[in-house]
Amino acid sequence: MDLHTITDVVVARQRADLTSLGSSTAVLAGGTFLFSEPQDQLIRLVDITALEWPAFEIVDDGLEIAATCTLAEFAGAAPGHELGKPTMRDQWPATALFAQSCRALLASHKIWDTATVGGNVCLALPVGAVLGALVALDGVALVWAADGADRCVALRDFVVGPRRTVLRPDEIVRSIRVPWSSMTAHTSFRKIGLTALGRSGAVVMGRRDRDDRTAITVTAATTTPVVVDFDLPPSERRIRRALDELDPACWLDDPHGSPQWRRHVAGVLAGQVAAELRGS
């Protein structure tokens, strides 16, 4: 839809073009959310897609995923291949979660080609499955401020409520870094919704690192992604008890499922994820 209050669109081509960020300005990435409903509080958009950040970069301590990486690029990730090296998908089994999380979105391939990883993370919807996958993989966001300062935020601390993050109005997410320990981990994924192709009611993602440390992440069922850590893959009883002990207010209540149902199915799915990780 047209956004009638917008009077200025800045196409950023370098970091210095981000100085106009602020409270009545929004970062424009894929625009799949921004153009889907009125944004009357905004007067300016700063388009970051012309910054031409490579979708993936292999760095010393992991894989860096640009905020502007599209969901299609993310889902198809075999980043070694993209960088002209032999494909490393076999060495990076965790990339399976990239595609699985994109398929958990209630979105067509048209959205996949345009929507970005950074947009999904910053929108911070409870059904933000790409956000959930990057939380499950212990991702860390590199945040750029308009004044040139940088900071890193662990993604598990990034979202503070539905559609609320720790980002300040003059900040953007530049990239998300996934550590090698997560890229080489075994993962498991389960999703349930009230209808087969409908919106997710609960998504559970598990990660077992090579040293056996295990993290189970619940999203879509909860208002923000919830991570439970273990030294070893937990038994079904242990993970269900851990979920039962969460703050009851964390379970999402909307037309796609009641909190009681979500808590129950998340427990069932988490048990399956834990069993799969125990066997991996």
Ligand X SMILES: Cc1cc2nc3c(=O)[nH]c(=O)nc-3n(C[C@H](O)[C@H](O)[C@H](O)COP(=O)(O)OP(=O)(O)OC[C@H]3O[C@@H](n4cnc5c(N)ncnc54)[C@H](O)[C@@H]3O)c2cc1C
Which residues of this chain interact with ligand X, rule CB under 6 A?
26-34, 36, 48, 67, 105-107, 111, 115-116, 118-120, 122-123, 125, 127-128, 167, 172-173
CB of 40 to ligand X, least distance (A): 14
Residues 255 and 151: their CA atoms lie apart, in Å, by: 37
Nearer to ligand X, 131 or 243 (CB): 131
Q: Which residue is nearest to ligand X (CB)?
A: 119
CB of 110 to ligand X, least distance (A): 9
CB of 163 to ligand X, least distance (A): 8
Nearer to ligand X, 107 or 250 (CB): 107
Please tell me the total number of residues recorded for the chain in this structure: 280
Nearer to ligand X, 29 or 218 (CB): 29
CB of 82 to ligand X, least distance (A): 20
Nearer to ligand X, 11 or 232 (CB): 11
CB of 234 to ligand X, least distance (A): 27
Nearer to ligand X, 173 or 239 (CB): 173
Nearer to ligand X, 120 or 188 (CB): 120
CB of 36 to ligand X, least distance (A): 5
